[in-house]
């Protein structure tokens, strides 16, 4: 339901491929029309991401995490196998895609991007618990909102960061 509301520009798959050989998956992706680039990590990750995005096209982006390294792939068509362990994300635009990939590839960027929304969320929960103060209606309201808060937080993340988990 949320996917139809926010109409993402990109779909990102973060694939945990530690049980596979990089050559198997990257060659399979290439045969299906995806452009695959190895992330070396030696230079600035932001430059590698910029280079990847400017030299590839497609709505579907794959971050493949192997034991030996990481690869980025991009394709106009979805190319996900059933035996892959992957997390799916909805991304609004190219700037959000850059932020998301930078977050996944750099620990420093991950902390800078994930910490502020978590602090805001904690602040909202503390305020909500202070306002309730054991009032029966407030407790019921908080419990009822608890069922939809996951979707609301996804929407909040999507609106503030530009991406959220599918």
Domain ranges of the chain: 2-165
Residue 142 structure tokens: 């908080």
Kindly tell me if the per-residue pLDDT of 111 is higher than 60.
yes
Structure tokens at 153: 């937080």
Q: What mean pLDDT comes out for the span 37-66? A: 86
Residue whose pair of structure tokens reads 């994930």 in the numeric block: 114
Environment class of 68 (CB within 10 Å of its CB; exposed 0-12, middle 13-18, buried 19+): exposed
pTM for this entry: 0.75
Confidence of residue 74 (pLDDT cuts 50, 70, 90): very high
């Amino acid at each position: 339901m949320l996917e139809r509301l926010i109409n993402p520009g990109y779909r990102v798959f973060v694939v945990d491929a530690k049980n596979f050989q990089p050559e198997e998956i990257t060659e399979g992706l290439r045969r299906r029309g995806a452009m695959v680039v190895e992330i070396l990590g030696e230079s600035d990750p932001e430059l590698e991401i910029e280079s990847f995005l400017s030299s590839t096209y497609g709505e579907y982006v794959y971050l493949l995490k192997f034991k030996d390294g990481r690869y980025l792939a991009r394709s106009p068509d979805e190319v996900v196998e059933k035996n892959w362990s992957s997390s799916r994300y909805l991304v609004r635009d190219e700037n959000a895609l850059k932020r998301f990939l930078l977050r996944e590839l750099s620990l420093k960027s991950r902390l800078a991007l994930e910490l502020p929304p978590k602090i805001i969320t904690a602040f909202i929960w503390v305020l909500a618990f202070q306002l309730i103060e054991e009032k029966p209606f407030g407790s019921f309201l908080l419990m009822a909102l608890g069922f939809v808060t996951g979707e609301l937080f996804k929407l909040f993340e999507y609106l503030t960061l530009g991406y959220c988990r599918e």
